[in-house]
Amino acid sequence: MTLRIAITTGEPAGIGPELCATLDASLFDAELVLIGDPELLGNRTVAGKTLTDLPLFNPASSAQKGRLCIAPVNLNTPSHAGTLNPDNAGYVLQTLDTAIEGCLDKTFQAMVTAPVHKAVINDAGIPFTGHTEYLAEKTASTQVVMMLATPGLRVALATTHLPLSEVPAAITADNLEAVLRCLYRDLQLHFHIKSPRVLVAGLNPHAGEGGHLGYEDDTIIRPVIEQLSAEGMSLTGPLPADTLFTPPWLAKTDAVLCMYHDQGLPVLKHMGFGQAINITLGLPVIRTSVDHGTALEIAGTHRADPGSLVAAIHCAIEMAG
């Protein structure tokens, strides 16, 4: 069966539309379906290439490997590269809803998302903390995990888009156990790792240093690791985050679980920015994404690098296949 992959084109003022315009569908073992405004995509083309004549997506047709088509969703108001407009927040969410619904009804076998701009969606009066949380809500998923990956490193997060002051309260035994079970299961399911080896970072500097720098590592994180290790999971930790990202440790792991967003992602993005991808684990659908934001400052200049989008599409195809 030829796979169909939905690609949401992201914030219309950002680089998402022009990244989609660079795609050469012949390089992928699937049919790619862009979800967005046809006129917008036509205006953001690069190197003389035009997307204005893309065939419309026909769900009744057979999927064709190497074909690029478009499922149209119209902008609420014209968009200009680099200039955010809250009036298009609903448009952005509609593209996501179209992809989610198509994945749930098996029209698409996976979805790939170009970057959105959280602040402008909130400016429109719509509460939105990120793709991960939105997808969880829309699919009624009780436990999802945000994981970024680049060749040689996977980093998953125990918490996602939270103010740093709220992170300690969110690290509970129940939440941590659920995250680790989800991570372990999906590494087996989607990445075919029979017995995943997971390093778990501590929350505090030096993993709490025996309680002198915080109690959470010894009273919350360590007991969960010991419990799940006794069940047969290969878990190591809690480890000081400042030393676990070193070659000797990384040579012994399939994924690292960090306690909060900026604990692990700076390391991963330094290692593979532009080629890294974002994967949401725990969903009933497959979703991958780019590792970067909307880059408003270069939108419309054709300087954006499509490497992360290309990697995200290849990963979605591999996971779906």
Asked, for residue 278, whether it belongs to a domain, the answer is no
Q: Which amino acid is at 264?
A: G
Domain count, the chain: 2
What was the pLDDT predicted at 43?
A: 83
Same domain membership, residue 257 and residue 165: yes
3-class DSSP string for 6-53? EEECCCCCCCHHHHHHCCCHHHCCEEEEEEECHHHHHHCCCCCCCCCC
Average pLDDT over residues 266-282: 92
Does position 22 have pLDDT exceeding 90, yes or no?
no
Token reading at 43: 């205006």
Same domain membership, residue 186 and residue 216: yes
What was the pLDDT predicted at 1?
A: 87
What was the pLDDT predicted at 51?
A: 58
Q: How far apart are CA 148 and CA 232, in angstroms?
A: 25
pLDDT-derived band at 275, boundaries 50, 70, 90: confident
Average pLDDT over residues 84-111: 98
Same domain membership, residue 176 and residue 214: yes
What's the distance, CA 63 to chain centroid? 25
What was the pLDDT predicted at 53?
A: 73
Same domain membership, residue 254 and residue 150: yes
What was the pLDDT predicted at 42?
A: 84
Instruction: Identify whether the C-beta of residue 23 lies closer than 8 Å to the C-beta of residue 68.
Output: yes
Token reading at 66: 């190497």
Token reading at 187: 């590494």
Does 270 count as an annotated binding residue? no
pLDDT-derived band at 44, boundaries 50, 70, 90: confident
Same domain membership, residue 24 and residue 132: yes
Exposure string of 204-219, with b = 16+ CB inside 10 Å and e = fewer, is bebbbeeeeebebbbe
What was the pLDDT predicted at 178?
A: 97
Same domain membership, residue 262 and residue 193: yes
pLDDT-derived band at 52, boundaries 50, 70, 90: low
- pLDDT digit string, tens, across residues 149-197: 999 999 999 998 899 999 999 999 999 999 999 999 999 999 999 999 9
Average pLDDT over residues 110-116: 98
Asked, for residue 279, whether it belongs to a domain, the answer is no
Asked, for residue 276, whether it belongs to a domain, the answer is no
Does 206 count as an annotated binding residue? yes
Same domain membership, residue 256 and residue 151: yes
What was the pLDDT predicted at 113?
A: 98
What was the pLDDT predicted at 91?
A: 98
Same domain membership, residue 181 and residue 232: yes
Exposed, middle or buried, 285 (CB in 10 Å: 0-12/13-18/19+)? buried
Token reading at 261: 């967003």
Same domain membership, residue 24 and residue 152: no
Sign of CA dihedral 183, 188, 193, 197: positive
Token reading at 201: 């970072």
User: Which residues, including other chains, have CB under 8 Å from residue 216's CB and lie 6 or more apart?
Assistant: 168, 171, 203, 204, 208
Asked, for residue 311, whether it belongs to a domain, the answer is yes
pLDDT-derived band at 30, boundaries 50, 70, 90: very high
Asked, for residue 121, whether it belongs to a domain, the answer is yes
Same domain membership, residue 182 and residue 151: yes
Q: Quote the domain boundaries for residue 222.
A: 145-269
Does 278 count as an annotated binding residue? yes
Does position 320 have pLDDT exceeding 70, yes or no?
yes
Average pLDDT over residues 284-302: 95
Asked, for residue 18, whether it belongs to a domain, the answer is yes
Q: How far apart are CA 238 and CA 221, in angstroms?
A: 7
Q: Which amino acid is at 60?
A: A
Same domain membership, residue 171 and residue 116: no
What was the pLDDT predicted at 21?
A: 87
Asked, for residue 275, whether it belongs to a domain, the answer is no
Name the residue among 205, 231, 207 with its Cα closest to residue 219: 207
Average pLDDT of the chain to the nearest whole number: 94
Residues in the chain, overall count: 321
Asked, for residue 277, whether it belongs to a domain, the answer is no
What was the pLDDT predicted at 273?
A: 83
What was the pLDDT predicted at 249?
A: 94
Of all residues in the chain, the percent with pLDDT exceeding 90 is 88
CATH code at position 227: 3.40.718.10
Does position 47 have pLDDT exceeding 70, yes or no?
no
- Omega into 72 within 30° of 0, i.e. cis? no
Does position 85 have pLDDT exceeding 60, yes or no?
yes
Same domain membership, residue 295 and residue 228: no
What was the pLDDT predicted at 46?
A: 56
